[in-house]
Structure 1
């Protein structure tokens, strides 16, 4: 919804001129008339009463419209003018397999990742950001966009049941690459996050997806999520449909993640806690600087002409009513 403002609001003070006019109109003066022997069959006309009332208020309508026109009411919308070729395009590629509910990060891996990723988005106001999620398959949640609220909303809605179970790291990476390959940004990066090992045989191999990223000038920052040793992981369901967590060894395909980062000119990180994950995002934020300058464009729509037309219309009606009354009374 556009905002409304007055370009010259001081003209609204002219409405103070109504005070003496209203006092004059309310002042009761001595009525003048002609003495007649009887008032029988002399009924007042409702039409004349309406006409006289209109003539009494017409000056207020005309002056109000003129004062508002002089104040120049207008609506405006604000848009952004940015040069996307100087910014950074960022795709999150997020593992949403069931193991992301493991409890070695607080309160679990997926929630910790979500909260810290949202903070990262808030620190990149001038970059375009998108979201891809993957498990046994990959799905685009948000193409790269400058509308960060959409990105944040989708990050808040991440869940582990939207895709088939499994971990296809290559699929998640290749779908993110596909969205960035035609980007004209000066820098294109993918933040690849997983807590496991690629286990889908017919999916695109992670290293093939890394070569695709390299050939399209895309840098990959890979993050392995999970503590060293054992963690409480969801392994089964109880009769009521609730997850059962058991101590399970944490297995992350670090050699592949390191090679993906090396091939694309990025970097590999291991996040074993909430604080280490936050430090990783802070480092990525420092590594990928943007020099995009965003300027605001104000688009105005003026409404003074509406009030001028209204004043002319009332002025015309006032003249017509006076002429009709003159002819009638004559």
Structure 2
């Protein structure tokens, strides 16, 4: 109910739904409502015991009861309602409209994803690359107001998506990623880190983060990964590195009979571990889909922007409505007090 639209004389102000919608500034005053009937009972008792009585002898057939005698109760009812309404007004019925505004300073995050041929190894379901794409998509879905970019690399590296808050665009890019996007074979981790640094060098974000995911072997590129990590750190970029895959025999493709081909896989995690140490981040090792999901979930928890909140409370008072009703009943009481109604049994 809007106080600007509902007139004070509307009966809606006495509906239970309206009264329940109020908060009461002086709620303790409502206990005085119990005192109002006590006052009227005490008043009636005093009148019965102190008023002068005149004995009149009449026969029983001369006594007649008339419904009009009830009219003399109207002034008392009006006074009763006046007091109830005044107590209600003193309790200060109010309605509050609280608004909350939240904002946050977003984080700039670059995801560098290895798309080399070794990422097609099927120790993940369906393979390392598709598993990485899926968890990266879920990671993006969980961010709010952060700018995120994509870098892909194999024998070379390039920026697939600049830092953006267009998460639909990022998801579309992730869907289109294949290992055939880059002709050069190998894994250029240092080049990927250099592209990330170039993309984030002009960022003014309070926090800059790189998530680098690879099978851990730097086999291409003309930039040393450690040197690239040191350069990134100079630009204030925190580096998280993730090595995916198992060592030993792992499935890769199928033979003529549909049986999985088993190939020997080695992982050198020392370079990725040192890059994370230089970049002030953390190194992770994931050997299956579940482990990779947990890694991204941990990074998601680590890199949370501080959410700031401002509350606005708009309070409207409605005591004037009940004061208006009380004044109306009081004026009506005064009017009837001067008429025959108050003395109908005596006249």
Deviation at 1:294, TM superposition (A): 11
Question: Does 2:141 align with 1:122?
Answer: yes
Distance change (3 Å), C-alpha of 1:244 and 1:219? farther
How far, CA to CA, are the matches of 2:253 and 2:278 in structure 1? 33
Q: Which residue of 2 aligns with 1:181?
A: 201
Question: Does 2:150 align with 1:141?
Answer: no
How far, CA to CA, are the matches of 2:187 and 2:309 in structure 1? 39
Structure 1 residue corresponding to 2:210, chosen from 177, 190, 211: 190
Q: Which residue of 2 aligns with 1:95?
A: 114
Deviation at 1:233, TM superposition (A): 2.8
How many aligned positions are there? Answer: 207
Question: Does 2:273 align with 1:254?
Answer: no
8 Å Cα contact 1:133-1:172 kept in structure 2: yes
How far, CA to CA, are the matches of 1:271 and 1:213 in structure 2? 24
How far, CA to CA, are the matches of 2:308 and 2:136 in structure 1? 23
Show the 5 A alignment for 1:127-276: 127-163=146-182, 164-200=184-220, 202-233=221-252, 246-276=261-291
More deviation, 221-230/102-111: 221-230
Larger Rg: 2
Return the TM-score normalized by structure 1.
0.59
Secondary structure at the aligned position of 2:294 is classed as helix
Deviation at 1:182, TM superposition (A): 1.2
How far, CA to CA, are the matches of 1:265 and 1:234 in structure 2? 38
Question: Does 2:304 align with 1:285?
Answer: no
Distance change (3 Å), C-alpha of 1:120 and 1:169? same
How far, CA to CA, are the matches of 1:203 and 1:249 in structure 2? 27
Deviation at 1:212, TM superposition (A): 0.8
| Gap runs ≥5 in structure 1 | 1-80, 296-330
How far, CA to CA, are the matches of 2:287 and 2:241 in structure 1? 14
| Gap runs ≥5 in structure 2 | 1-101, 311-347
How far, CA to CA, are the matches of 1:127 and 1:145 in structure 2? 8
Distance change (3 Å), C-alpha of 1:170 and 1:207? same
